[in-house]
Structure 1
Amino acid sequence: MSHSTPASGSSQHTVAGTVLTMPVQIRTADQHMAMFSVDADAAQRMIDYSGLRVYRHRPHRAIVVLMLMRYLDGDLGPYLEYGTNVMVNRPGSQEAGLRHLSSAGAFVHHLPVDGEFTLQAGRQIWGYPKVLADFTVREGRPFGFEVSIDGRLAVGMDFAPGLPVPSALTAKPQVQSTYSCLDGVLRETEGTMRLSGVRYRPGGVRIRLGDHPYANELAALGLPKRALLSSAVRNVQMTFADAKEIS
């Protein structure tokens, strides 16, 4: 990979012979997400390697988010991506409780994808822990998917349909910090997200775990269990800035 800053001031990365100009744009994607309250100590053990601390929305509880993203039109091409994200305190912050949850960041612990180019870009530019996986997606009610790595099931999820959320509540751009730790390097990436066609419901998800090590890690958090809430988003537009290394 090469990295340069052209005269315009926007940085560029060359990945597999393709030049990407930052920020990377995702023009069309959809998302299925479920949020779970899990034992905070178990979640902390899972991400201890990052040096970050889990965000405790209750004294002994942390939040883990499992999601499927289908990227349809973007600078990295079309691909599927599954993520296990743990809500964390920003470095130096000790906030806790539901009231300050919006200040937390998301630490990306698992990130299987089904494309070689996005794998290389994700690891090289942002330090995301992308690995190659096979995805099976079923449209309909319920919407469902499975992620398998090296022929072993990691996780499967089925989503019951939710209730539509008024677009006035979701149209405002959201800025989200994600953290990654690859090869011992902690990075922060700021992204902007705009959502439309959002549906939410309490619970609404069935999880299946396989025998891949990722599944064992999710089981150690107490999954499968009832979700706090689940959502489906018909269209997600996103931008990803350059990652910043955190010493």
Structure 2
Amino acid sequence: MTPSQHTIAGTVLTMPVQIRKAQQHMAMFSVDADAAQRMIDYSGLRVCRVTPGRAIVVLMLMHYLDGDLGQYYEFGTSVMVNPPGAPPGSKTSGLQALREAGAFIHHLPVDQEFTLEAGTKIWGYPKVLGDFTIRGGRQFGFDLSIDGQFVVGMEFKSGLPFRIAPRTQAQRSYSHRDGITRETGFEHTLDGVRTRLGGVRIRLGDHPYSKELAALGLPKRAILSSSAANVKMTFGDAQEIS
């Protein structure tokens, strides 16, 4: 079967899209499930209720260093959701459900035009242009602004080495754009992982994205935070599910 191709800004991308090296900082939070559901109701998907009344939201900064979409920063707000059409019962709640859940991408600002066009056209991701200020040194941090308005800042404490051999994991992400919900399968391999309980501080602005995060109960203590020094990924085509 001939691989599909997409032309973005005059460049032909052959699927799957390859990310050969990226760096990641992420934080996972337990939030009010009803608030998370209201935020993503437009998608038609249902949040994964890990415990009664609680859902999982992940905030993640990616720095793509070598890949088919070029170099760029990206900040994502993901809500863990049940697979579309999942029957009611034990598989829609609890830790087993979380293992089977996918990530619905609600926010996805980036700082480069090429990846914005590719992300919206190929996968229907909610990419918008933003500006990132990165702080390195002993404590990693960043600020995100959109149209000159501060959205969110995060500071990460260093975690402890996670000494497990890297392995490739298959996952699913979901997006909703132009009235269509899409599922995208992808694989990733993480190396150089460090993790810790809590370990992150969040600051929110007055941007509409900030107010959505505040409506979830943020800022609050993270369940855990982590970083990965070397991330490899492949993304397939999106499939329409509704």
Which residue number corresponds to residue 113 of structure 2? 116
Aligned partner of residue 10 in structure 1, secondary structure: coil
| Structure 1: 4+ residue segments shifted above 4 A | none
1:154 and 2:151 correspond: yes
Distance in structure 2 (CA, Å) of the matches to 1:102 and 1:151 = 38
1:130 matched to 2:123? no
Q: Describe how 1:86-235 pairs up with structure 2 within 5 A.
A: 86-93=79-86, 94=88, 95-168=92-165, 171-235=166-230
Q: How many residues in Structure 1 have an aligned counterpart in Structure 2? A: 238
Q: Say whether residues 1:84 and 2:81 are aligned partners.
A: no
CA distance in 1 between counterparts of 2:85 and 2:182 reads 15
How far does residue 172 in structure 1 lie from its aligned partner after superposition?
1.3
The separation in 2 between residues aligned to 1:206 and 1:109, in whole angstroms, is 21
| Distance (Å, rounded) in 2 between the aligned partners of 1:16 and 1:234 | 30
Amino acid at match of 1:237: K
Return the offset for 1:101: 1.1
Q: Give 2:145's aligned amino acid.
A: S
1:11-50 map, 5 Å:
11-50=4-43
2:2 is aligned to 9
Whole-angstrom CA distance in 1 between matches of 2:62 and 2:216:
22
Match among 45, 52, 65 for residue 52 of structure 1: 45
Q: Match of 2:83, as an amino acid?
A: R
> What is the TM-score when the length of structure 1 is the normalising length?
0.95
Q: Deviation digits for residues 182-223 of structure 1, max 9, x if unmatched? A: 111100000000010001100000000011100000000000
For the 8 Å contact 1:165–1:199, the answer to whether it is kept is yes
The alpha carbon displacement at 1:141 in A equals: 2.2
Give the distance between the partners of 2:95 and 2:29, measured in 1 at CA.
14
RMSD, matched Cα:
0.8
CA distance in 2, matches of 1:224, 1:240: 31
Instruction: Assess if the C-alpha contact under 8 Å between 2:49 and 2:94 holds in 1.
Output: yes
3-state secondary structure, aligned to 1:58: coil
Normalised by the size of structure 2, how large is the TM-score?
Answer: 0.97
Q: Distance in 1 between matches of 2:21 and 2:84?
A: 32
Amino acid at match of 2:154: M
Unaligned runs of 5+ in 1: 1-7
Percent identical residues: 70
